[in-house]
Amino acid sequence: MQNKLDYKNIRKIGLVTKPNSNFDAEILEIKQSLEQRGIELLLLKQSSKALKLKSYDLDELFKQSDFLISLGGDGTLISLCRKAYEYDKALLGINAGRLGFLTDFKVEGAKQFFDEFFCGKFRIEKPFMLDLMLETQEDKIIYKNAFNDVVFYRKHSQSMAHIEVYRNDKMFNQYFGDGLIISSPAGSTAYNLSANGPIVYTLAEVFILTPVCSHSLTQRPIVLPRGFELEVRASECIFCIDGQENFNMNDFKSVKVALSDKSVALIHPKNRDYFQILKEKLGWGN
């Protein structure tokens, strides 16, 4: 993964919006800011039906672009993170959503950002992802990554989830309730936060286990360091990666989760203050 972005030689930037959204005015504003610098804006095919800009499918957009802009909320940006790692491309999140812990500014702030960006005044943060190793009932190994979290939850609303977690073939813990969230630090302000899990600094090398509506008052979230690989066992449960990919636990002999060595390069303004963002988004001190 790149540590630096060659901002002086940027020629093409891709842009992705939330599906079925209408951000044509915002796209044109970004396009104008970039054209003034001789930079071409490329679109994901589904990003606009009206604008006559070059558009590509997602894989080709990553190949053609020096980096990509996500225009939307955190969900839009998260949906690009695993693909960004695959192509070793950085991402810039511009907020057109509601909350935005990962997206720093709205479209009206884009011109000022690009003025600073093309003078080298920006920063790249590289939060770590989660690695998943899935062994199917047919002994096939599937590797997946999650940027935010992996959520294990009950398959039937009338039943209770029973989830066992092992480390080195020894039971680490077992959870009875609605489910279990395994979260990266970047994902700590997502579903983990709503389930009363801890907020963890985005660049910390740890991950979090948070029970969902536990039937035991003694079950509490726990933060674990890099190097812990956990195996999750459960029947009649579903697990979901980043809120986007769903799998049936019964289809797998083994589901293992650990903090990855892999990270995603996220472009931010030079003066970005993570803790100020927390204060603003969560209303601390009000």
Would you call 131 exposed, middle or buried from its count of C-beta atoms within 10 A (0-12, 13-18, 19+)? middle
Sign (positive or negative) of CA dihedral 189, 193, 199, 200? negative
At residue 233, the pLDDT reads 96
Q: By C-alpha distance, which of 269, 270, 265 is closest to 4? A: 265
β 206-212/252-263 pair status: unpaired
Taking residues 98-102, report their average pLDDT: 74
Does the annotation flag 194 for ligand binding? yes
149 is in an annotated binding site: yes
User: Is residue 136 a contact partner of residue 252, using CB atoms and an 8 Å limit?
Assistant: yes
Q: State pLDDT tens for residues 227-279.
A: 999 999 998 899 999 999 999 999 999 999 999 998 999 999 999 888 888 88
Q: State the Cα–Cα distance between residues 196 and 189, nearest whole angstrom.
A: 10
- 189 has binding-site annotation: yes
In the prediction, which pLDDT does 2 show? 40
Is there a binding annotation on residue 186?
yes
* Model confidence, pTM: 0.91
Residue 178 labelled as part of a binding site? yes
Q: For 50-68, what is each residue's pLDDT tens digit? A: 888 888 999 999 999 999 9
Is 66 labelled a binding residue? no
Measured between alpha carbons, how far is 84 from 262 in angstroms, rounded to an integer? 11
Q: Which of 74, 88, 242, 261 is catalytic?
A: 74
The two tokens of residue 127 are 């939060």
What mean pLDDT value characterizes the chain? Answer: 92
pLDDT tens, 138-196?
Answer: 999 999 999 999 999 998 877 899 999 999 999 999 999 999 999 999 999 999 999 99
Q: What is the pLDDT of residue 266?
A: 96
Structural domains of the chain in order of their starting residue, each with its CATH number: 12-126+264-282 (3.40.50.10330), 129-261 (2.60.200.30)
pLDDT category at 3 given cuts 50, 70, 90 is very low
Confidence (pLDDT) at 50 = 82
Does 169 qualify as catalytic in the annotation? no
Tell whether 191 is in a known binding site: yes
